[in-house]
Amino acid sequence: MKISLNWLKEFVEVTAEPKKLKGDLKALGLGAETVTALGDDSIFDLEITTNRPDCLSHYGVAREVATFYRTSLKPIEVAINESGSPATNAASIEITAPDLCARYCGRVIQNVQVKPSPPWLAQRLESVGQRPINNVADVTNYVLMELGHPLHAFDLARLRENKIIVRSARPGEHLRTLDGVDRKLTADHLVIADGKLPVALAGVMGGEESEISPVTKSVLLESAWFEPSSVRRTAKSFGMHTEASHRFERGADIQMAPLALDRAAALIAELAGGEILPGVIDVCPRPYSERELTLHPREIRRILGSDFPSEEIEYILRALGCTVARKKGAEHWLVFRPSWRLDITREVDFIEEIALVLDATVRLQTVRECNPQRGFAADRGVLCGLDHPAIPYRRAGPCQGISYTAGGAG
């Protein structure tokens, strides 16, 4: 994934020179392979491991950088100006496969003018390897690269019955996707359908019939969360790999869906004119529930070989987006992982994050001796020994090269 330093600086203060930042990104496990000068900008080519989809965006990388450099992360603030009748009067959304789609949000924007994007938007997309299309489609790709959440824009006038239905495909159905390929569907494929027929492959790519064109006047903007295994199955069956499927397959942030939607809607209204109808159509059959884990200081010492001030531990956890609580007199913390960190499932995962921020290779001078018969503590996920600091094995795996197919999320 390509990251623009100028874009990154919109969310976090970075004073380090590009070469130094490249090394720090590698220390954070973000695999900064190259950095290239582009005018007054620097473009970093990152290799993001499969367990860190939260870093597949400028904001996600900015969060890691802010924590590492002990500086603030600028919050995402979106101002929406709504007018007209409620969005629910113009469109409806239904999910008949709640096990495969936990949330689907939509906004309606009317009276837009589709045209080429302004130079700043086109140039920014090109700097990170994206091809400009038009101002509406480009906004969805811009927000994808900015916030990491895939979106898709439908021409509302081309949706039969002004309806969206998230369902499994039916035998004999076909869909011609944005790449011009006619695809035969089966019941294994999750699709976005209108009142009659499929109009997109859910989480992979949109369809030609409902794509944005120069004559589009009304837009239905989609921001959803699809089950990773479903997106992976659909993409694999057709030999497809898009920017959208790459993220959905690894696990998108379900709580980001409405925020990314509003960000895109505001930009479309700014660049294409039109009015944002009041209200988000938010269908959420499986609401997000916070995951609570326990973190013990003794476990931090056992794995990292040192004690650290409680304030330091709590700062790192909160900077990473966690909610941290510790009852008076308690020997442990209750930590709620953020919605974007699906890879954190055990206590040791928090400890790994703490070690990365503390820069284990420099600050941990001694690692307590492990049992020689358990040199690799597989159950803890760390390699430990007298001559080595704690090494998080999940950061050390090879990265797979990916080739992408152009297309929207669907």
Distance CA(202)–CA(193), nearest Å, equals: 9
The predicted pLDDT at position 25 comes to 92
Distance of CA 343 to the CA centre of its chain: 13
Q: CB within 8 A of 378, min separation 6: which ones?
A: none
Distance CA(97)–CA(258), nearest Å, equals: 20
**What is the side-by-side order of every strand in the sheet holding 382-385?**
376-377, 382-385, 388-392
The predicted pLDDT at position 305 comes to 87
Domain boundaries in the chain?
2-69, 87-283, 292-338+343-395
Is there a contact between 87 and 277 (Cβ–Cβ < 8 Å)? yes
What is 2-69's CATH number? 3.30.56.10
Fold matches, 2-69 and 87-283: no
Grade residue 343 by pLDDT with cuts at 50, 70 and 90. Answer: very high
Q: What is the pLDDT of residues 233-250, one digit of tens each?
A: 999 999 999 999 999 999
Placement of tokens 């494929």 in the chain: 189
Residue 174, beta-bridge partner list: 184
Would you say the pTM of this structure is higher than 0.75?
yes
Query: Which CATH architecture does the domain made up of 87-283 adopt?
Result: 3-Layer(bba) Sandwich (3.50)
Q: What is the pLDDT of residues 293-324, one digit of tens each?
A: 999 999 999 998 888 899 999 999 999 999 99
Grade residue 408 by pLDDT with cuts at 50, 70 and 90. Answer: low
Is there a contact between 371 and 385 (Cβ–Cβ < 8 Å)? no
Class of domain 292-338+343-395: alpha beta
* Residue burial 74-108, b: 16+ Cβ < 10 Å; e: rest: eeeeeeeeeeeeebeebbbbebebeebbbbbbbbb
Distance CA(89)–CA(7), nearest Å, equals: 37
Q: What is the pLDDT of residues 188-231, one digit of tens each?
A: 999 999 999 999 999 999 999 999 999 999 999 999 999 999 99
